[in-house]
Amino acid sequence: MEKAKLETVARMLVDAQRLVVLTGAGMSKESGVPTFREAHDGLWARYDPTSLATPGAFRRNPKLVWDWYTYRRELIAGSAPNPGHHALVALEDLLPQVVIVTQNVDGFHQQVGSSDVICLHGNIQENKCFDDCQGKPTLVDISRLEWDAETGPPTCPYCRQALVRPNVVWFNETLPVAVLERAQQLSQDCDVMLVIGTSGVVYPAAYLPMIAHQSGATVLEINPSPSGISQIAVQRLAGGSGELLPLIVDLIRQLKST
Ligand code: BV8
């Protein structure tokens, strides 16, 4: 990556008063967590995740979907946030406002201590009643349940009817209203949006950079490949976020000290 491009992006970030950072699966790639569209290793290579992450798939074959989430939870448990996640925490000491809006469900931003994280699509570590029988969401602590995991997910301990499912937003499910509204408002109000590691094909998350752009914000991108966001980004740094973010934060620190 040529230094001049990094310096250009650092100079666009150093004076940001209201920065929004939108992250996707690419943010966790250097932690060893496969991105959403990349073929998962082994058993899951033959399934398209967008056909597993749906309420219909869960109704049709709860064990298959539950096992896919168990596999992903184990993958995440065996991984760790990478230097890119830590760099975003360091950015909070350099800029007046940094809000992370993430599409990721791995919990890594929260784990490293980012202070304001909006999870658009939920949290893979949490489970809930499929029917939200006690209200939205009816969280269930499965560590307190006894069930035969060979049969798939447990039954909700409250209603004893519906099955327990991961507390994530599936395709064809609406995002929590308050979460989406806050993300949209922040995208409208930000002066800079840094978009990291997303293909920009899943909506309504992919609308957020467009909202920022139409509101006059500077949109920047870190992604090794062009994405659905690239055409509205004034700069795309073609590299890995785990490698580039620490370099950018160092440059911002230098600019701040001169
Ligand atoms: C909804 C949780 C209303 C589950 C996920 C228009 C408007 C509204 C809706 C739609 C619309 N058009 C279509 C829809 C429907 C649908 C949709 O968007 N479909 C797509 C496939 C076209 N949207 C929905 O259903 C949403 N709900 O709209 O409600 C509604 C209600 C009823 C009926 C209709 C509509 C809900 C969407 C949420 C789905 N849940 N996750 C789980 O994780 O199991 S989405 C999932 O995929 C991820 O969370 C993520 O958000 C998403 C996209 O993945 P990315 O993060 O972008 O990752 P991807 O692999 O695609 O790309 C990785 C990128 O990283 C690449 O660009 C790569 O180059 C880059 N990269 C690689 N290495 C690195 C890197 N970058 C940096 N560093 C590296 N080292």
Taking only the tens place, the pLDDT of each residue in 56-99 is 999 999 999 999 999 999 999 999 999 999 999 999 999 999 99
CA distance 247 to 241: 10
Whether residues 240 and 135 fall in one domain: no
132 and 224 within one domain: no
Q: Are residues 158 and 56 in the same domain?
A: yes
Task: Note the pTM of the prediction, 2 decimals.
Answer: 0.96
Maximum Cα interatomic distance, the chain, rounded to a whole number of Å: 63
Which residues partner with 163 through β-bridges? 155
- CATH number for 241: 3.40.50.1220
Cβ of 37 below 6 Å from ligand 1? yes
Active site residues: 121
157 and 237 inside one domain:
no
Q: What is the pLDDT along the chain (258 residues), one digit of tens a residue?
A: 789 999 999 999 999 999 999 999 999 999 999 887 766 665 566 678 888 999 999 999 999 999 999 999 999 999 999 999 999 999 999 999 999 999 999 999 999 999 999 999 999 999 999 999 999 999 999 999 999 999 999 999 999 999 999 999 999 999 999 999 999 999 999 999 999 999 999 999 999 999 999 999 999 999 999 999 999 999 999 999 999 999 999 999 999 998
Joined tokens for residue 40: 């998962």
Ligand 1 atom, smallest distance to 121 CA: 2
> Does residue 249 sit in the same domain as residue 218?
yes
Q: Which atom of ligand 1 is the closest one to the Cα of 35?
A: 60
pLDDT at site 40: 60
Domain co-membership, 209 together with 244:
yes
The whole-number pLDDT of residue 39 equals: 60
167 lines ligand 1 (CB under 6 A): no
> Does residue 214 share a domain with residue 133?
no
DSSP-based three-state secondary structure for 21: strand
Both 97 and 210 in a single domain? Answer: yes
Same domain, 213 and 136: no
Domain range for 101 is 1-32+81-121+174-258
196 lies in the same domain as 245: yes
What percent of the chain stands above pLDDT 70?
97
Count of domains observed in the chain: 2
- What is the pairing mode between strands 218-222 and 235-237? parallel
Compute the distance between CA of residue 187 and CA of residue 214 in angstroms, rounded to an integer: 10
The helix, strand and coil proportions of the chain, stated in percent and rounded to the nearest 5, come to 45, 15, 40
B/e letters for 172-189, b = 16+ CB within 10 Å, e = fewer, are eeebbeebbeebbebbeb
Predicted pLDDT at 143: 96
- Cα 172 to Cα 1, 176, 229: the distances in Å are 39, 13, 22
Distance 87 CA to ligand 1 centre (A): 24
Q: What is the mean pLDDT of the chain?
A: 95
Q: Are 111 and 186 in a shared domain?
A: yes
Q: Is any ligand 1 atom within 6 A of the Cβ of residue 229?
A: no
Give the Å distance between the CA of 160 and the centre of ligand 1.
32
Half-sphere exposure of 168 (CA within 13 A, CB side): 22
> Any idea what the CATH number is for the domain that residue 149 is in?
3.30.1600.10
Q: Determine contact, residues 168/121, Cβ cutoff 8 Å.
A: yes
What's the pLDDT at 43? 58
Residues in the chain: 258
pLDDT value of residue 41: 61
Q: What was the pLDDT predicted at 34?
A: 87
User: Based on the domain organization, do 152 and 229 belong to the same domain?
Assistant: no
